Amino acid sequence: MQKKINDLSIVIATLGDKSLYRVIDSILNSTYLPKEIILVKPTKIELDHKNFKTDNIKVFSSYNYGQVLQRSIGFNNCKTEYVMQLDDDIVLNNNSIENLYLSILNKKNACIAPILRYHEDNESVYNIDSINYIEKIIRIVANFIRGNSLKLQGQIGRSGVAFGINIIEKNSEVKVNWLPGGCIIHRAKNLIIDNFYPYKGKAYSEDLIHSYILTQNKIDLFITSKSICYIYKQKNTDIQKKINEFYQTMKSRLLIVRLYKKSMILFYIDITLTICYNFSKLILTNFINKFAKN
């Protein structure tokens, strides 16, 4: 049985990809339904309203694209006491909204995010297994520079790398230093309603900057295992796009190192190791593909 929550809005920044309609369907199939779903798109993007399957969706336009800018427009148009930010590629479990909503009711100055898993195999998005000895060696060295990935779950490492939550007990909550921005529930009074991302276009690592601002405002951050969301795996084979994404990510991470007062030296060493890791992975993948063809 579904229950409508009249003091909850869901804000989705979108570019109109097909995944958006899958996300909306997951909301509409939830045990708890929001009062409204607010979509914010760039002005040039057109959405197919026929696929919405509900009349409680409001659409706003942004003069530019970028999830932080678009999300801020959505936040400023919310009238409810609780607000959930949701990416347009995050699929909700049927009780995700319910458990996030019930969890935040008892917390005045906090925001809460769910566990994030891959849809294909139900594995944590932060559970990365090495596929060869080169990667294993690089990961060991990386952990020495960044910090122990198991001990620092939900924390920021020495070189500015964010460690996600991989292992968490059932029906529990863990206080963390940062939250993935794909799905977070807030009290409206605690929202960061400004466009805080300093660069134009797609916002890389914006969740770390967002988390920093929230903690500076005395807001506690929690991950709850009571709520699970899913994302589909994506394969990016465009080398040029990968290089651009790497550059943009490193530019944002440089800002994160400064905000969290991490080691600049370890940051640059980490970048070098990351390049080596990706290069070894690219070489191995190409070798395997050529061997398979022969």
pLDDT tens-digit series, residues 257-281: 999 999 999 999 988 877 877 777 7
- Residues 171-199 have pLDDT tens digits of 789 999 999 999 999 999 999 999 999 98
3-state secondary structure (DSSP) of residue 242: helix
Q: What is the pLDDT of residue 133?
A: 60
Name the nearest CA neighbour of 83 among 37, 23, 115.
37
| Mean pLDDT in residue range 155-162 | 92
Distance (Å, whole) CA 226 – CA 223? 9
pTM, two decimal places: 0.89
| Mean pLDDT in residue range 100-123 | 92
Q: What is the pLDDT of residue 120?
A: 87
Are the CB atoms for 229 and 96 separated by under 8 Å?
yes
Percent of the chain topping pLDDT 70: 90
- Residues 19-43 have pLDDT tens digits of 999 999 999 999 999 999 999 999 9
Domains and CATH numbers, the chain: 3-126+164-231 (3.90.550.10), 130-163+236-294 (no CATH)
| Beta-ladder partners of 186 | 83
Q: What is the pLDDT of residue 242?
A: 76
Question: What's the one-letter identity of residue 208?
Answer: L
Kindly indicate the confidence band of residue 289, based on its pLDDT and cuts at 50, 70 and 90: low
Q: What is the pLDDT of residue 138?
A: 65
Q: What is the pLDDT of residue 214?
A: 97
pLDDT exceeds 80 at position 167? no
| Mean pLDDT in residue range 225-240 | 82
How many Cβ atoms are within 10 Å of 225's Cβ, its own excluded? 17
Distance (Å, whole) CA 171 – CA 227? 9
| Mean pLDDT in residue range 229-234 | 89
Name the nearest CA neighbour of 41 among 24, 55, 20, 61.
61
Distance (Å, whole) CA 81 – CA 78? 9
